[in-house]
Amino acid sequence: MYTRCPQCRTTFAVSDEQLQARGGVVRCGECHHVFRADRFLMDSLPSTRKAVKTPAPPARRTATNRNDQSGTKKVTGHLPTLDELLWGKKRSRVRPVFWALGNLLVLAILAGQIVYFYSTELAHYPELRPYIKEACARLGCVIRPQVDAGLIELTKTRISPHPKYARVLRLRASLINRASFSQPYPLMEVTLSNHRGVLVGRRTFRPEEYLQKKIQINDYMIPNVIIRAEIEFTNPSQRADGFEIRLLADPQHLVTS
């Protein structure tokens, strides 16, 4: 059984097994044109200058041309593999392992960006917080604490003249964190007014000013624990008959990992 290349008209001998192995697709050993051999089948050799010889067994052997004594040109054919049909002989492919490593690298970079920019939100989950803190220690990101000053209860507030010093007032109060989570100590804003309700003085105190102990920037108020606060400050020149205390979240308070 024979087939003829439609590109260069070279004739090849083919078998049924070769046609069935690749669905009839072959590559011409003369011009390397890929075509369907089953569409150009012949039962006998044509009376032309070009004769054929059955292809050598190795599938990857390059076609060679030889002239016999009669001057008839004989060609050994080359039937391509599926990889050669899809990629070609000279085209190299990147191994799957390098693609896998590249994908892992991209995923690692993406995960690092998520942790860096959303560290605060992720750290609010207790099961993730240890891992987020460790990651931020390496990435240099900052975790903001969860804060809700409205859930801090202020009780037993009392303001009175200082027993030892003139024109000095002493304020005492108790703070309780009613939130389900620990949070930083708030700022304490104290406002004084006279009997007409006119403002005579206002000042904001930081935790280290109203607490009896030194605190660090990562110290938290534990839920449902009473914290004692005491402040001493100079009495304004005008008579102060009323006072108001507001607890405010410190916008500059950050907790680093």
The answer on pLDDT for 18 being more than 50 is yes
Pairing type for strands 142-143 and 73-75 reads unpaired
The answer on pLDDT for 82 being more than 70 is no
DSSP 223: B
Closest CA to 28 of 17, 20, 40: 40
Condensed to tens digits (0 to 9), the pLDDT of residues 127-157 reads: 787 887 888 888 888 777 788 889 999 998 8
Buried/exposed code over 57-92 (b: 16+ C-beta within 10 A; e: otherwise): eeeeeebeeeeeeeeebebbbbbbeeebeeeeeeee
Domains and CATH numbers, the chain: 2-87 (no CATH), 96-143 (no CATH), 149-256 (2.60.40.10)
Q: What is the dihedral of CA 190, 193, 199, 200, to 10 degrees?
A: -90
- 72 band by pLDDT with thresholds 50, 70 and 90: very low
C-beta of residue 191 within 8 angstroms of C-beta of residue 199: yes
Q: What per-residue confidence (pLDDT) applies to 47? A: 63
Please give the share of the chain, as a percent, with pLDDT higher than 70: 75
